[in-house]
Amino acid sequence: METVATYRAHGGTQGVYRHASTETRTDMSFAVFVPPHAEGARLPVVWYLSGLTCTHANVMEKGEYRRACAELGLILVAPDTSPRGEGVPDDAEGAYDFGLGAGFYVDATEAPWAANYRMWSYVTAELPALVAAHFPADMARQSIMGHSMGGHGALTIGLSFPERYRAISAFAPIVAPALVPWGRKALGRYLGEDKAAWRRHDALALIEDGARLPALLVDQGEADQFLREQLRPELLETVCASAGQPLTLRMQPGYDHSYYFVSTFMADQLAWHAERLG
């Protein structure tokens, strides 16, 4: 693992790191904030998954999480959203919602994406092992959160590994990818047209199929330009109510899809995670 840069912030260390990934067959970069802590202490870990077009840098520069993480004693890890580099396939038309920057947190099975687009295994297996080996992380106390496409990833990964993540939250998540344009495009091209294969990467389907968590927290801006067509939080609310899955859905008047929205409620969500991480 290579240290690209480190910065002192709120008594802790904000770092950017790079390593050669065996899953994506590319170099991958990620960000980690480690708060001030006593020597030998092991700290709970919050995973933050970013949205379409983003890298680790978006939340690192705009997310305003470091003060809260320093006060709460939380490590925050922010992976990239897709493999990158020479030879990695991208959308032929350069679309923002597929290919580079849009891995959708799945392991692709279709050519040419299958060789590199293995973000599910990268986020759930390879990168956690690296974090456990190089940072003062208590891997028995993990939680996960994300924004937009990353909110989709946080929900599906959290629902798939309830024994691992004690808390799951999201900002403006894509809750029903099988039903909205962003998701249908990504799942169809990464996983093929057999919609049965999509269910493990759709939060609504996972809950319908029996996945449960102690609690879910979702913040959604009412002025979000993608609310009606791509996000559809009311579908998650309906499915959770029917299944008896606890959900706190907070509709936030006046807020859009940007990091102005995310940063406003970041500290509040991190405090919610900290309560559940102990």
Catalytic residues: 148, 224, 257
CA 131 from centre of chain: 16
Beta strands 216-221 and 165-171, pairing class: parallel
- 51 burial (CB, 10 Å; 0-12 / 13-18 / 19+) is buried
Distance CA 242, CA 148 (A): 24
What number of residues does the chain have? 278
* Buried/exposed 15-26: b ≥16 CB within 10 Å, e otherwise: bbbeeebebbeb
Whether the CB-CB separation of 113 and 8 falls below 8 Å is answered with: no
* Cross-strand pairs, 34: 13
Distance CA 164, CA 143 (A): 8
In 167-232, alpha helices (H): 181-191, 203-208
Q: Which residue from 128, 134, 103, 110 is spatially nearest to 24, judged by alpha carbons?
A: 103
